[in-house]
Amino acid sequence: MSEKQYWYIATLVIAIKVEDVGDDVDPTCEEQIRAIRAPNAEAAYEKALQIGKSEETAYLNMYGQTVTWTFVGLDDLDELDNRMHDGVEIRSRLFGHLTPTSLVRAKADLSVFAAESNPDGRGYRIKTENIPAGDE
């Protein structure tokens, strides 16, 4: 009989750095939210670390600069309610924000729809407007 498996949600942090951009420029960070099946929290943690390390890569961009993706670590690891059903909450967070409406995207900018018009095939669009931090 196999060991009982549970669902966990891991939030991975990846730093993306472009060569010759300068040390004064902060790297772009990607937050990846991954579903992980494991028998316990320790196994889920190890699996999340393996997944994060597997995301590390380096390549030349169209300008000949080396772009490096580095796994920084985990922002969070949480056990998911194992009663999976339509509409189950995967993750939530509470935070202050001066203009909550600026966090909302138009339908065409949602990942599932943006993939249709995004030629690079990543399936998402990066929001580029400056959003002030809550302490500004």
Write out pLDDT tens, residues 74-94.
Answer: 999 998 876 677 887 777 777
Q: Is residue 24 part of a domain?
A: yes
pLDDT value, residue 104: 82
Task: Specify the pairing of strand 28-38 against strand 66-79.
Answer: unpaired
The answer to whether position 62 is within a domain reads yes
**Does residue 52 sit in the same domain as residue 99?**
no
Q: Is residue 8 part of a domain?
A: yes
| Structural domain containing residue 16 | 1-80
Q: What is the pTM of this model?
A: 0.69
Statement to judge: residues 76 and 98 lie in one domain: no
Does residue 118 surpass a pLDDT of 70? no
Number of Cα atoms under 13 Å in the Cβ half of residue 135: 0
Confidence grade of residue 68 (pLDDT, cut at 50, 70, 90): very high
In a domain, 136, yes or no: no
69/37 same-domain check: yes
**Cβ-contact 6, 37 below 8 angstroms:** yes
97 part of a folded domain:
yes
Same domain membership, residue 99 and residue 74: no
Count of structural domains, the chain = 2
Q: What's the CA gap between 65 and 42, in Å, rounded?
A: 38
Please answer whether residues 109 and 125 qualify as being in contact, where contact means their C-beta atoms are separated by less than 8 angstroms: yes
pLDDT of residue 135: 43
Could you tell me if 51 and 13 are in contact, meaning their C-beta atoms sit under 8 angstroms apart? no
* pLDDT above 60 (res 121): no
The reply to whether 134 falls in a domain is: no
